[in-house]
Structure 1
Amino acid sequence: MWIGSAAVCLDDKNRILMIQGKDLVEWAVPSGGLQENESLEDCCIREVKEETGYDVQIIKNLFIKEGQAEGGIHYQTHYFEVKLIGGDANINDPDGLNI
Protein backbone atom coordinates (compact mmCIF):
# COMPACT_ATOMS: atom_id res chain seq x y z
CA MET A 1 0.00 0.00 0.00
CA TRP A 2 1.21 3.51 -0.88
CA ILE A 3 0.75 6.08 1.92
CA GLY A 4 1.29 9.80 1.52
CA SER A 5 0.34 13.32 2.55
CA ALA A 6 -1.08 16.34 0.74
CA ALA A 7 -1.29 20.02 1.67
CA VAL A 8 -4.22 22.38 1.26
CA CYS A 9 -3.00 25.95 1.67
CA LEU A 10 -5.23 28.99 1.17
CA ASP A 11 -4.01 32.57 1.24
CA ASP A 12 -5.94 35.58 2.54
CA LYS A 13 -7.67 35.89 -0.86
CA ASN A 14 -8.82 32.23 -0.77
CA ARG A 15 -6.37 31.22 -3.51
CA ILE A 16 -5.08 27.67 -3.17
CA LEU A 17 -1.41 26.74 -3.51
CA MET A 18 -1.08 24.28 -6.40
CA ILE A 19 1.64 22.77 -8.56
CA GLN A 20 1.77 21.75 -12.21
CA GLY A 21 4.23 19.46 -13.95
CA LYS A 22 6.22 20.96 -16.82
CA ASP A 23 4.54 18.84 -19.52
CA LEU A 24 1.17 18.37 -17.81
CA VAL A 25 -2.17 20.13 -18.07
CA GLU A 26 -3.44 19.03 -14.66
CA TRP A 27 -2.89 20.98 -11.47
CA ALA A 28 -2.59 19.39 -8.03
CA VAL A 29 -1.92 20.32 -4.43
CA PRO A 30 1.60 19.57 -3.17
CA SER A 31 1.76 15.94 -2.12
CA GLY A 32 3.96 12.88 -1.99
CA GLY A 33 4.81 9.59 -0.41
CA LEU A 34 5.69 8.85 3.18
CA GLN A 35 9.35 8.05 3.81
CA GLU A 36 10.65 5.56 6.37
CA ASN A 37 10.47 6.85 9.97
CA GLU A 38 8.56 9.99 8.88
CA SER A 39 5.26 11.15 10.35
CA LEU A 40 2.40 12.06 8.03
CA GLU A 41 2.71 15.68 9.17
CA ASP A 42 6.45 15.77 8.46
CA CYS A 43 5.81 14.22 5.04
CA CYS A 44 3.34 16.99 4.23
CA ILE A 45 5.72 19.75 5.33
CA ARG A 46 8.63 18.20 3.39
CA GLU A 47 6.64 17.76 0.19
CA VAL A 48 5.46 21.38 0.22
CA LYS A 49 9.05 22.56 0.71
CA GLU A 50 10.37 20.31 -2.07
CA GLU A 51 7.68 21.16 -4.57
CA THR A 52 7.20 24.88 -3.89
CA GLY A 53 10.03 26.24 -1.74
CA TYR A 54 7.58 27.38 0.93
CA ASP A 55 7.65 26.51 4.63
CA VAL A 56 4.31 25.56 6.13
CA GLN A 57 2.79 24.73 9.48
CA ILE A 58 0.11 22.07 9.92
CA ILE A 59 -3.20 23.57 11.07
CA LYS A 60 -5.40 20.48 11.14
CA ASN A 61 -6.19 17.12 9.57
CA LEU A 62 -8.82 17.45 6.84
CA PHE A 63 -9.58 13.98 5.52
CA ILE A 64 -8.12 10.71 4.24
CA LYS A 65 -8.62 9.65 0.64
CA GLU A 66 -8.34 5.93 -0.07
CA GLY A 67 -8.62 4.05 -3.28
CA GLN A 68 -7.00 1.79 -5.81
CA ALA A 69 -4.78 3.10 -8.59
CA GLU A 70 -4.01 1.53 -11.92
CA GLY A 71 -2.19 -1.73 -11.46
CA GLY A 72 -4.19 -2.53 -8.33
CA ILE A 73 -2.04 -0.50 -5.95
CA HIS A 74 -4.04 0.56 -2.90
CA TYR A 75 -3.33 4.13 -1.76
CA GLN A 76 -4.10 6.28 1.24
CA THR A 77 -3.50 10.05 1.11
CA HIS A 78 -3.81 12.14 4.26
CA TYR A 79 -4.84 15.74 3.54
CA PHE A 80 -3.83 18.54 5.90
CA GLU A 81 -4.76 22.20 6.07
CA VAL A 82 -1.51 24.13 6.24
CA LYS A 83 -0.47 27.75 6.76
CA LEU A 84 2.38 29.45 4.90
CA ILE A 85 5.03 30.57 7.41
CA GLY A 86 8.04 31.36 5.23
CA GLY A 87 10.30 30.43 2.37
CA ASP A 88 10.40 31.61 -1.21
CA ALA A 89 8.91 30.18 -4.38
CA ASN A 90 11.50 27.67 -5.51
CA ILE A 91 11.31 24.29 -7.18
CA ASN A 92 13.38 21.40 -5.91
CA ASP A 93 12.50 18.34 -8.00
CA PRO A 94 14.06 15.34 -6.15
CA ASP A 95 11.80 12.89 -8.02
CA GLY A 96 12.87 14.15 -11.45
CA LEU A 97 9.33 15.03 -12.47
CA ASN A 98 10.26 18.42 -13.98
CA ILE A 99 7.70 20.22 -11.86
Structure 2
Amino acid sequence: MSKRSTPFASRYCSTLDRLKEAIGRKRPGLLRRGVASLRRPDLAPSDFHLFGPLKRHLGGMAFETEDDLISELRKWFDNLDVDFFRVGINSLLSRWQKCIDLHGDYVEK
Protein backbone atom coordinates (compact mmCIF):
# COMPACT_ATOMS: atom_id res chain seq x y z
CA MET A 1 0.00 0.00 0.00
CA SER A 2 1.49 3.35 -0.99
CA LYS A 3 1.76 6.25 1.43
CA ARG A 4 -0.92 8.10 -0.55
CA SER A 5 -3.46 5.35 0.05
CA THR A 6 -2.84 4.95 3.78
CA PRO A 7 -6.23 4.79 5.50
CA PHE A 8 -7.31 7.92 7.35
CA ALA A 9 -7.39 6.19 10.75
CA SER A 10 -3.77 5.13 10.39
CA ARG A 11 -2.70 8.66 9.39
CA TYR A 12 -4.73 10.12 12.24
CA CYS A 13 -3.08 7.82 14.81
CA SER A 14 0.35 8.58 13.39
CA THR A 15 -0.32 12.31 13.62
CA LEU A 16 -1.47 11.98 17.23
CA ASP A 17 1.67 9.98 18.09
CA ARG A 18 3.88 12.71 16.59
CA LEU A 19 1.85 15.39 18.39
CA LYS A 20 2.31 13.58 21.71
CA GLU A 21 6.07 13.40 21.10
CA ALA A 22 6.17 17.11 20.23
CA ILE A 23 4.25 18.02 23.39
CA GLY A 24 6.58 15.80 25.40
CA ARG A 25 9.58 17.72 24.04
CA LYS A 26 8.03 21.18 24.41
CA ARG A 27 6.30 20.70 27.77
CA PRO A 28 7.74 17.55 29.37
CA GLY A 29 5.85 17.88 32.66
CA LEU A 30 2.45 18.09 31.01
CA LEU A 31 2.22 14.46 29.98
CA ARG A 32 3.67 13.11 33.23
CA ARG A 33 0.62 14.37 35.14
CA GLY A 34 -1.61 11.84 33.42
CA VAL A 35 -4.04 12.35 30.59
CA ALA A 36 -3.68 15.68 28.82
CA SER A 37 -6.63 17.07 26.94
CA LEU A 38 -5.31 18.48 23.68
CA ARG A 39 -8.59 20.22 22.94
CA ARG A 40 -11.61 21.61 24.68
CA PRO A 41 -13.71 18.58 25.66
CA ASP A 42 -16.95 20.37 24.77
CA LEU A 43 -15.91 21.07 21.16
CA ALA A 44 -15.18 18.65 18.37
CA PRO A 45 -12.22 19.72 16.20
CA SER A 46 -14.63 20.07 13.28
CA ASP A 47 -16.64 22.69 15.22
CA PHE A 48 -13.93 25.28 14.57
CA HIS A 49 -14.69 25.03 10.84
CA LEU A 50 -18.38 25.52 11.56
CA PHE A 51 -18.48 28.44 13.99
CA GLY A 52 -16.72 31.12 11.90
CA PRO A 53 -19.08 30.93 8.91
CA LEU A 54 -22.10 30.53 11.20
CA LYS A 55 -21.09 33.59 13.24
CA ARG A 56 -20.65 35.64 10.06
CA HIS A 57 -24.05 34.53 8.80
CA LEU A 58 -25.87 35.38 12.03
CA GLY A 59 -23.96 38.65 12.61
CA GLY A 60 -26.32 41.58 12.99
CA MET A 61 -29.46 39.45 13.06
CA ALA A 62 -31.94 39.65 15.92
CA PHE A 63 -34.51 37.00 16.73
CA GLU A 64 -37.73 37.58 18.60
CA THR A 65 -38.20 33.95 19.54
CA GLU A 66 -36.15 30.80 19.86
CA ASP A 67 -38.22 29.33 17.03
CA ASP A 68 -37.11 32.19 14.75
CA LEU A 69 -33.47 31.39 15.53
CA ILE A 70 -34.01 27.67 14.96
CA SER A 71 -35.71 28.40 11.65
CA GLU A 72 -32.77 30.54 10.49
CA LEU A 73 -30.27 27.90 11.59
CA ARG A 74 -32.16 25.21 9.67
CA LYS A 75 -32.16 27.37 6.53
CA TRP A 76 -28.42 28.00 6.90
CA PHE A 77 -27.60 24.31 7.36
CA ASP A 78 -29.89 23.32 4.48
CA ASN A 79 -28.05 25.74 2.16
CA LEU A 80 -24.51 24.63 3.07
CA ASP A 81 -22.44 23.37 0.19
CA VAL A 82 -22.42 19.59 0.09
CA ASP A 83 -18.61 19.62 0.62
CA PHE A 84 -18.60 22.04 3.59
CA PHE A 85 -17.88 19.48 6.32
CA ARG A 86 -15.58 17.36 4.14
CA VAL A 87 -13.36 20.40 3.54
CA GLY A 88 -13.28 21.20 7.26
CA ILE A 89 -12.41 17.67 8.29
CA ASN A 90 -9.74 17.36 5.60
CA SER A 91 -8.10 20.57 6.84
CA LEU A 92 -7.56 19.06 10.31
CA LEU A 93 -4.44 17.11 9.29
CA SER A 94 -2.65 20.24 8.07
CA ARG A 95 -3.67 22.13 11.23
CA TRP A 96 -2.39 19.32 13.44
CA GLN A 97 0.84 19.28 11.44
CA LYS A 98 1.25 23.02 12.12
CA CYS A 99 0.96 22.28 15.86
CA ILE A 100 3.69 19.67 15.54
CA ASP A 101 5.93 21.91 13.41
CA LEU A 102 5.57 24.77 15.92
CA HIS A 103 6.28 22.41 18.85
CA GLY A 104 2.92 23.13 20.46
CA ASP A 105 3.09 26.93 20.22
CA TYR A 106 -0.01 28.94 19.31
CA VAL A 107 -1.23 28.35 15.77
CA GLU A 108 -2.72 31.08 13.60
CA LYS A 109 -4.99 30.10 10.72
Rg: which structure is higher? Answer: 2
Normalising to structure 1: TM-score of the pair? 0.27
Greater strand proportion: 1
Normalising to structure 2: TM-score of the pair? 0.25
Greater helix proportion: 2
Bigger relative contact order, structure 1 or 2 (CA pairs below 8 A, ≥6 apart): 2
